[in-house]
Amino acid sequence: MKRRFTAVCALLLCLSLSACGVLLSDHLSKEQIFSLVAEHEEELRACIASGQYDTATAIDGIQHVYKYDRYGCVKFYCGGAGFGSATSYYGFYYSPADRPLSLEAAPAEAALGAVNGFDWHEENGDNSY
């Protein structure tokens, strides 16, 4: 009886943690991000040209805009999921030279070509983009 109770408690704990992960996820999928960019491309380009991002943050799905003036990069944050070092962030960015950039918008010369984008992995760390 005690063994069964422990197993049920462990199962409930696992299910609760899984449910928390799902409930705390607030991001768009890759497909949703592609659709958002395609649907709002003209508005996004106008925001980038003017340097004013109120219109962009009003678009459903874009939660925050980060500007990196040093590189001319603008990152559009579309949510995240996970806990601690297992957190994933979702979004897209604009690079004026059409070059891949790393997490902090520095040039990512080590970016690997990927299907429909780039992958960047932090050296000696767990960050990737």
Block means of pLDDT (10 residues each) for the chain, 129 residues, are 67 56 64 95 95 94 90 88 80 82 56 58 69
- What domain count does the chain have? 1
**Has residue 55 been placed in a domain?**
yes
- Res 124: pLDDT: 77
**Has residue 6 been placed in a domain?**
yes
- Res 107: pLDDT: 55
Q: Give the span between the Cα atoms of 61 and 63, in whole angstroms.
A: 6
**Has residue 128 been placed in a domain?**
no
Amino acid identity of 94?
Y
**Has residue 125 been placed in a domain?**
no
Domain extent at residue 34: 2-119
**Has residue 127 been placed in a domain?**
no
Are 98 and 104 in contact by the 8 Å Cβ rule? The answer is: no
**Has residue 109 been placed in a domain?**
yes
Which H or E run contains 125?
Answer: none
How is residue 106 annotated by DSSP?
A: S
**Has residue 61 been placed in a domain?**
yes
**Has residue 50 been placed in a domain?**
yes
- Res 20: pLDDT: 47
